[in-house]
Amino acid sequence: MKNVTLKLAVLGTLGLASMQVLATGFVNLPTTGFGTSAYTLCNTTGNFGSSTTTAPTAGANNTCAVFPTVETVSPIAGYGVSPTNSPDYSASRPAVMNNTYTGGVDKTVGTVTEYVWRNRTTSTECIYGAKFVAINTDYGTAAGSQRFEMNDFARGGFSGLAVDIAYFRFATNAEVVFRAGRTFTSVQHRASSISSSTPGTGYLALPGLSGSTASINGLNSWPLATPTATEQAADVNDNWVDFTTDANFADDDGSTKAASSMLYVKAACPASGEPPAMDEAIRLRQTAQENTNFIEVKVRGYVPSNSSVVTPVHTDPF
């Protein structure tokens, strides 16, 4: 009887452990990548935002997804202020573009909101959450309207650290995460035509493992053309985490989502006090999914320590 009880207890414990893993939704990003790619897939609907995506639920399309009650509540219990699991720290920062496309003038294209939840037990592990919300800014000096489209959200400062990621689609106007990677490089993905659910020829769901250390890789030109294998690659860079999404106030392909999901990185942090923030720690990338240009917008962001680095430095226009 004792053996049976013990076995049931062990099975129950394993079952709870499995449920906890599934419930958190967090996915580890190895410092060496995933064998053939620096990236792993999350939500595979909507052809990387070129057509309408399907929101994650508890039962489907939920790889990397978590489901807290609201965005200000930690996605994992035991993080943040007790007993509400609310953020220990938060910040709201403007996303300001200033490059040749704006004529050298500051144009605020959106806002990045950050939250940090510290583990109440270990104190040296935090969840860094961030979202981007686009605003109706015509940033260009050319004829017509040019609105910034954030296809990738990258954040740096994680060299040598264990990193887990997840996302929370907190509203109907928030886009899902298509993939996430331990890399500095955002890789362009295009449809076979605007608003198509079919990928363009040569565009990969999982970019090749090596061939580019650029901030953005792909074809900075239009009309649609076939990229080379090198133009669909991203080197592993364990200092950076990249989320591929599609947030734009008015998207050319018609599948407009003005906000990203809440994007989470779980990693080390100082044992006390507000984590440091560094200029350029967050990079918002427009990868020219449609008839647009490569653009990177740098934003100040939280990093794990004062010794974190966020190189390579930003260069305009991307």
| Radius of gyration, CA atoms only, the chain | 20
Amino acid occupying residue 45: T
Burial class (CB in 10 A: 0-12, 13-18, 19+), 208: buried
pLDDT (tens digit per residue) in 135-173? 999 999 888 889 999 999 999 999 999 999 999 999 999
pLDDT (tens digit per residue) in 249-272? 987 766 789 999 999 999 999 999
pLDDT for res 23 = 41
* Rounded average pLDDT over 275-285: 98
Q: Is the pLDDT of residue 84 over 70?
A: yes
pLDDT for res 142 = 84
pLDDT for res 318 = 87
Residue 249 near residue 197, CB atoms below 8 Å:
no
pLDDT (tens digit per residue) in 57-77? 999 999 999 999 999 999 999
Least confident of 6-10, 229-233, 271-275, 302-306: 6-10
Q: Is the pLDDT of residue 288 over 80?
A: yes
pLDDT (tens digit per residue) in 289-308? 988 999 999 999 999 999 99
pLDDT for res 193 = 87
Distance from C-alpha of 152 to C-alpha of 207, rounded to nearest angstrom: 14
| Per-domain residue ranges of the chain | 27-302
Q: Is the pLDDT of residue 95 over 50?
A: yes
Positive or negative: CA dihedral 295, 300, 301, 306: positive
Q: Which two tokens stand for residue 1?
A: 């009887």
Residue 233 near residue 208, CB atoms below 8 Å:
yes
Nearest to 77 by CA among 270, 64, 69: 69
* Rounded average pLDDT over 302-318: 95
pLDDT (tens digit per residue) in 169-204? 999 999 999 999 999 999 999 999 888 999 999 999
Q: Is the pLDDT of residue 46 over 90?
A: yes
pLDDT (tens digit per residue) in 10-40? 333 323 232 233 346 999 999 999 999 999 9
pLDDT for res 24 = 65
Least confident of 8-22, 33-47, 77-91: 8-22
* Rounded average pLDDT over 5-14: 32
Half-sphere exposure of 21 (CA within 13 A, CB side): 7
Q: Which two tokens stand for residue 149?
A: 């489209």
Q: Is the pLDDT of residue 214 over 90?
A: yes
Q: Which two tokens stand for residue 229?
A: 């294998």
Model confidence at 4, pLDDT cuts 50, 70, 90, reads: very low
